[in-house]
Amino acid sequence: MYQEAIKKYVEQHGHQRLNLKAVLFDMDGVLFNSMPYHAEAWNKTMSRFGFNLSKEEAYLHEGRTGAGTINIISQRERGHDATEEEIQQIYKAKSEEFNSYPEAERMPGAWEVLQKIKAAGLTTMVVTGSGQGSLLDRLSHNFPGIFQKELMVTAFDVKFGKPNPEPYLMALQKGGLKPEEAIVIENAPLGVQAGVAAGIFTVAVNTGPLPDHVLLDEGANLLFSSMPHFNEQWEMLYEALKQG
């Protein structure tokens, strides 16, 4: 079944074959189990400012910039964008709320599959909208020897962010890769949208509460139900990918 998805991708994009060299990982909700905390922080903070943003809806906005999310809710509930000052206030409060929670743990299965990918000689990259200063430390502490600073795309690198393809296009550029030489691993609808728009084979891993179709509707080439499931299936998927 993996061959079929790969064949479909190759034909759609007019490539000769998929020639896998690198795996591009999203971070929140893929490498770290941080999304429940983000959803909680969004929900609490927005209601403190008089807005309704359910935890489930927070998952739909995952990957969007803070300002983008706040404006969508403000438009819906008040019919206009939030002011610059409101955006700063709300986003600061949300970040403070998030930072008061325990540090997110590694997603189960993530370390295992990363080691296999590394052992296969493939390049591993992180492509995230996060701009936390401690990001690199956290990655090297939790996933020692897996990621290099030069092969990361963060909030500091990009102008638009997901769902714009920019972060993934930048990852291809940094890695010296063509779209058909990489795959994207994403958990959020907007992240899948970004990977697909960059022309890269995009694997959705549904680690949150949204129904599968939300990720498939964005054009995900494959879907796994969890990171442990992705890890279990990696050998079979890799075999199919090698055949291109």
Which residues of this chain interact with Ca ion, rule CB under 5 A?
26, 28-29, 187-188
Q: Determine contact, residues 93/48, Cβ cutoff 8 Å.
A: yes
Query: Residue 130 CB, nearest distance to Ca ion (Å)?
Result: 9
Query: Residue 121 CB, nearest distance to Ca ion (Å)?
Result: 26
Three-state DSSP class for residue 76: helix
Residue placing its CB nearer to Ca ion in the complex, 129 or 179: 129
Q: Tell me which residue has its CB nearest to Ca ion.
A: 29
Residue placing its CB nearer to Ca ion in the complex, 26 or 218: 26
Query: Residue 153 CB, nearest distance to Ca ion (Å)?
Result: 13
Residue placing its CB nearer to Ca ion in the complex, 177 or 227: 227
Distance between CA atoms of 107 and 109, rounded to whole angstroms?
Answer: 6
Residue placing its CB nearer to Ca ion in the complex, 74 or 124: 124
Distance between CA atoms of 162 and 116, rounded to whole angstroms?
Answer: 27
Query: Residue 208 CB, nearest distance to Ca ion (Å)?
Result: 9
Distance between CA atoms of 21 and 32, rounded to whole angstroms?
Answer: 23
Distance between CA atoms of 63 and 156, rounded to whole angstroms?
Answer: 14
Q: What H or E segment, with its residue span, contains residue 7?
A: helix 2-13
